[in-house]
Amino acid sequence: MNPILLLYNIQGQRLKQIQLLAACLGVRTRPVPPGDYGKPLAALCGLEGDEGAQGLWNDFDEEMLVMAFFTQEQMRRFLDSFRQTGLPSVRLKAVLTETNSRWNSCALRAELLKEEAAFRAMKKP
């Protein structure tokens, strides 16, 4: 599969900059509108048909990226390009896996927020 980058709540010039970074690596981008947040990530990445919304979901405001079908080198170069260009990083990032491909965007966001809170708790003395 060709690499694809799902983009959430990224707009304007920032969206254009991230799309340019992705295009330089041959990565296709797909901004995900709130109406698609309930669809499985696999459907959003083109792995299966568009089944419609699943489970509980709602809109969220945080920026989020999902990297699907990236090689290790593409992922490294893409993430490094934020630092190299001075573009602020996106806080919530994930790689599509067999497990999370069944989740909807809101379930992934919830898991990323839990992981972030756990890392913060480990850093506290």
> In the chain, where are the structural domains located?
4-123
6 pLDDT exceeds 80? yes
Q: Residue 59: what pLDDT?
A: 81
DSSP character string of 44-97: HTTSS------SS-----S-EEEEES--HHHHHHHHHHHHHHTPPPPSEEEE--
Q: Residue 103: what pLDDT?
A: 92
Mean pLDDT of 21-38: 94
- For the purposes of burial, counting CB atoms within 10 Å of the CB of 25, is it exposed (0-12), middle (13-18) or buried (19 or more)? middle
pLDDT digits (tens, 9 = 90+) for 38-50: 999 999 999 877 6
Contact (CB, 8 A) for 44 and 104: no
Q: What is the pTM of this model?
A: 0.90
pLDDT digits (tens, 9 = 90+) for 52-93: 656 556 789 999 999 999 999 999 999 999 999 999 999 999
Tell which wins on pLDDT, 114 or 49: 114
How many other CB atoms are there within 10 angstroms of residue 6's CB atom?
21
Q: Residue 55: what pLDDT?
A: 58
**Residue tagged 């919830």 (tokens):** 110
26 pLDDT exceeds 70? yes
Q: Residue 119: what pLDDT?
A: 85
51 pLDDT exceeds 70? no
Chain-centre distance for alpha carbon 121: 24
Angle at 76 between CA 24 and CA 119, to 5 degrees: 130
